[in-house]
Amino acid sequence: MKKFISWNVNGIRACVGKDFLESFNKLDADIFCLQETKLQAGQIDLNLPGYFQYWNYAEKKGYSGTAIFTKEEPISVVNGIGSLEHDCEGRAITLEFKDFYFLTFYVPNAQDELKRLDYRMDWEDKVRNYVLELNKKKPVVFCGDLNVAHEEIDLKNPKPNVGKAGFSYEERGKFSELLEAGFTDSFRYLYPEKVEYSWWSYRHNARANNAGWRIDYFIVSNDIKGKISDAKIHNEIFGSDHCPVELDIDL
């Protein structure tokens, strides 16, 4: 059984000051992914015995960024999705293992008034094509802050957020398109009616009131969805405006 964790840390240096290492060690994942690391090479030295570390940094300082820490050394590592327009933001890492591909993504936010929606839509199409190509070779597991609440059950206040970033018809439609292409939302597969969130605004005491959104996911190829054992949202863990999410799968 493999245990995978994904966490948007909203700045790894800040999160380290909020007991990141304690949470990391407690979770004891086979693969642990970060999004929104917000740093450049050489700005942190994380001591993680027993893990291989892979980082993808944005060209813009203090922005975006992803990382994967894995106990098993991968066959190959690729940063980005093969798109010059998108790969400068450090949003994707792919690891190849013997029996599967493992990816983490930090999906672009459409921003206020959806001013970055066109960029986001292009990202969605390119990522879907990218993972579909990988899926032809071996099963795929991918995770991260996908910056969309797919259905009304995935956020506390759906009605006032319809059409806004993270709950626009366009973003939700692209998520549906991805699933229809041959992938499964692991949490919703196991828990079709469960209400839990992975992100809360820092405003209006949102976390204390559990007025959140589920925008952090583990997605798997349909071929291996029957191997999913559990999917968890660790809302007891603090240190970021997101909490870690987990996938347990027999790979």
Annotated active-site positions, please?
106, 145
Question: Residue for token digits 């879907």?
Answer: 128
Q: CB burial class (10 A; 0-12, 13-18, 19+) of residue 73?
A: exposed
Strands (E), the chain: 2-8, 31-35, 52-56, 66-70, 76-79, 92-96, 101-106, 140-145, 183-185, 199-200, 212-213, 216-221, 228-233, 245-249
Please list the residues that pair with 95 across neighbouring strands: 77, 102
Q: Which amino acid is at 128?
A: R
Residue 215 CB neighbours (<10 A): 24
Q: Which amino acid is at 95?
A: L
Show Cβ contacts of residue 6 under 8 Å, excluding neighbours closer than 6 positions.
33, 35, 104, 143, 144, 145, 216, 217, 218, 244, 245, 246
C-alpha separations of 72 from 47, 56, 156, 222 in Å = 17, 19, 38, 24
